[in-house]
């Protein structure tokens, strides 16, 4: 059985409502009870859609090497993906 999380275990009311209405009854890996749930794969698909709708990759900006290193390299600006996943999940 795939790991799943039920609608009651989400802190995000938005995600909780989606899972409550669209999920299937499964045992929750968090609370151990059987409720409407999303598998980890289903949750990943939902998060990917929402993140693609609202978040864009940061710009890549040139950064000069330090000291004797005069090499120019590029660094992507912005928050890491983990920040946005936590922001969407609300936890």
Q: Which residue has the higher pLDDT, 50 or 22?
A: 22
Q: How confident is the model at residue 5 (pLDDT cuts 50, 70, 90)?
A: very high
Range of the domain at 28: 4-89
pLDDT at position 2 is 66
Q: CA 8 to CA 33: how far, in whole Å?
A: 10
pLDDT at position 19 is 95
- Note the pLDDT tens digit of each residue in 28-83: 999 999 999 999 999 999 988 888 888 888 889 888 877 666 788 888 888 888 88
pLDDT at position 82 is 86
- What Å distances lie between residue 54 and 5, 60, 82, CA to CA? 24, 19, 15
> What is the number of domains present in the chain?
1
Q: What is the DSSP string of 1-54?
A: ---EEEGGG-S-HHHHHHHHHH-EEEE-TTT--EEEEEEHHHHHHHHHHHHHHH
């Amino acid at each position: 059985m795939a790991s799943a999380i039920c609608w009651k275990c989400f802190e995000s009311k938005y995600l909780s409502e989606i899972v409550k209405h669209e999920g299937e009854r499964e045992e929750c890996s968090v609370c151990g009870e059987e409720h409407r749930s999303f598998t980890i794969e289903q949750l990943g698909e939902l998060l990917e859609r929402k993140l693609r709708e609202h978040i864009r990759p940061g710009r890549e900006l040139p950064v000069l090497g330090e000291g004797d290193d005069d090499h120019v390299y590029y660094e992507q600006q912005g928050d890491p993906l983990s920040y946005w996943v936590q922001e969407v999940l609300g936890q």
